[in-house]
Structure 1
Amino acid sequence: MFDVLVYLYETYWRPDACPDHAQLTRKLTAVGFEDDEIQEALNWLEGLSAAGEAFHGQQSVSAMRVYSPGETDHLGETSVGFISFLESAGVLPGPMREMVIDRAMAIPGSPMDLEDLKIIVLMVFWSLGEEPDALILDELFVAPEDRLIH
């Protein structure tokens, strides 16, 4: 599923640039993705759209987010720490954070793999038509061991 999401991010500027589901399914099949992987990704994207509507218009408040035990278990310490890092850096306001958590909770298996969470963060930005700044893109895509230290 995550391969399909990354392909959509790289291929379509914004979600509204994607063709309708039937045509998109045909295109993804032609590229070589499996039907179950495509359907899982498209269902996940529908949930992302619903989450965007649910959290749209909420004010970003300076409040501490307390994770439920189920969220902590599912996300794992590393993912919770990464979400907190993005919040403290000022790039993940409350409503977007809630979208990330909502979509991460929709993924089976725990704890959440950090690389998968980074794709979820990227897809939340994408779904809102926002481009993360260069430093955040670096954090999302470049492995720590590959970073140049100045």
Structure 2
Amino acid sequence: MFDILLYLFENIVNDSSEVWIDDDALSKELKRAGFHDDDIYKALMWLEDLADLQSTDNAPFIAGQTAVSTRVYTLEESFKLDAECRGFLLFLEQINLLDVATREMVIDRVMELEESEIILEDLKWVVMMVLFNVPGKESAFEQMENLVFDEFDGTLH
């Protein structure tokens, strides 16, 4: 399923004219690309659930949190997101790329992936997918894109 999400994301970002394609046409395109029906359905549901998270009615886990909330991860979240991934999410909050709501959206979407553990590179893609789909986060998306695609070529102090 994650491969389908990456495929869709790369094609949406590279060809914004395809953003509003309907589910049937999208399913046919994904079948032609070699993906299986079950995985296609799961990926489309994952994206639909991402869109639903933007509604405050559908995101009660964000209610009551402030900009200075400390996130305590559940045992299940800690298994799926190792210390490196959790540290990266904290870093993104500290540099204001993620806020409380988008952090929770990222964690929610990660937990819905079928993988038992998420590596940092996959987490970065999920963050980009979330930021791409949240109105008003264009600047944060561009900054995240730079973090993912720009090669580090210096000394970290």
Equivalents in 2 of 1:7, 1:109: separation in Å?
A: 17
User: Is 1:125 equivalent to 2:131 in the alignment?
Assistant: yes
Amino acid at match of 1:127: N
Query: In the alignment, which of 132, 141, 145 is matched to residue 137 of structure 1?
Result: 145
User: Which protein, 1 or 2, shows the higher relative CO under an 8 Å CA cutoff with sep ≥ 6?
Assistant: 1
Residue from 94, 103, 113 that aligns with 2:109: 103
> Partner amino acid for 2:50?
L
Structure 1 residue 60: Cα displacement: 5.6
* TM-score, normalised via structure 1 length: 0.80
Return 51-60 or 128-137, whichever deviates more.
51-60
Letter in 1 for 2:20: C
Unaligned runs of 5+ in 2: none
- 5+ residue gaps in structure 1? none
Q: Please give the per-residue CA displacement for 1:85-114, whole angstroms capped at 9, x wherever unaligned.
A: 111111100000000011111123433222
User: Displacement of 1:135 after TM fit?
Assistant: 4.1
1:148 to 133, 144, 153: 153
Match of 1:78 among 84, 91, 111: 84
Q: Match of 1:11, as an amino acid?
A: N
| Change in CA separation of 1:11 and 1:60 when aligned onto 2, cut-off 3 Å | farther
- State the Cα RMSD in Å: 2.7
1:51 aligns with 2:53: yes
CA distance, structure 2, for counterparts of residue 141 and residue 35 of structure 1? 31
Aligned length: 146
2:70 is the counterpart of 1:68: no
Given that 2:93 and 2:99 are in contact with CA atoms closer than 8 Å, whether structure 1 keeps it comes out as: yes
CA distance in 2, matches of 1:60, 1:23: 41
**Equivalent in the alignment of 1:89:** 95
Are residues 91 and 3 of structure 1, via their aligned partners in 2, closer, same or farther at CA, if it must alter by over 3 Å?
same
- Quick one: percent identity of the two aligned structures? 36
Match of 1:8 in 2: 8
Match of 2:98, SS state, is coil
* Alignment partner, residue 39 of structure 2: 37
